[in-house]
Structure 1
């Protein structure tokens, strides 16, 4: 094995290690209730079945940015496309936030739900809502 091969092998090993470390830091949160768990991506129905009704529930319209529209092609002018305006569009998506008080020794959990799916789980101080 030459010096160049060793350097390549070392760089690949470092890159793989960095990817594995980064992947571990991005793991989704989960919440354990009644000997079962819920996690991001689970349904609202599963959350209700597993953890029951929340102590407090709130619903609001969250602003989300929509992707730009594709180019428009007009009939009668083949091959001529007019780009759509690249102005960011804002839409409203109904979002629920549920607070679960889990008792002494446990941090409260705030679950954010959109379109019937859990999109985030936060605990304690992290559970405070972000500005809408």
Structure 2
């Protein structure tokens, strides 16, 4: 059986500066809370996980659902003149930081 496939998009590495410290991809949810405080808005949703299935008679493998990976997105409004930041986390770790969006 093959490896695990996740339905996630590619993200460019970013960091977020809050107060006198910063957070970046790989940092923990606790460090984000300590550094930046509570978000303006938050959302939690499930990202489907699939395993590759056995090939059919035509050699095509159909993905098999294998649950989901809980994902959090936190929106930080950073004040006048600053783009809002959306911090995405999985398994308690920051996986991406995007600017200029109002969530997913």
Q: Which TM-score band applies after superposition, normalised by the shorter structure?
A: 0.7 to 0.9
State the Cα distance separating 1:89 from its structure 2 match: 2.2
Aligned to 1:92: 68
Unmatched runs of 5 consecutive residues or more in structure 2: 1-10, 56-60
How many pairs does the alignment contain?
Answer: 88
Are 1:112 and 2:88 an aligned pair?
yes
Higher-helix-fraction structure = 1
Normalised TM-score (structure 1): 0.60
Structure 1 residue runs of 5 or longer lacking an equivalent are 1-25, 70-83
Which structure 1 residue ranges, 4+ long, deviate > 4 Å from structure 2?
none
User: TM-score when scaled to structure 2?
Assistant: 0.74
Deviation by residue 1:71-118 (Cα, 9 ceiling, x = unmatched): xxxxxxxxxxxxx45321233111101000010110000011101000
Work out the CA distance in 1 between the residues paired with 2:90 and 2:76: 17
Deviates more, 1:114-123 or 1:26-35: 26-35
Q: Which has the larger radius of gyration?
A: 1
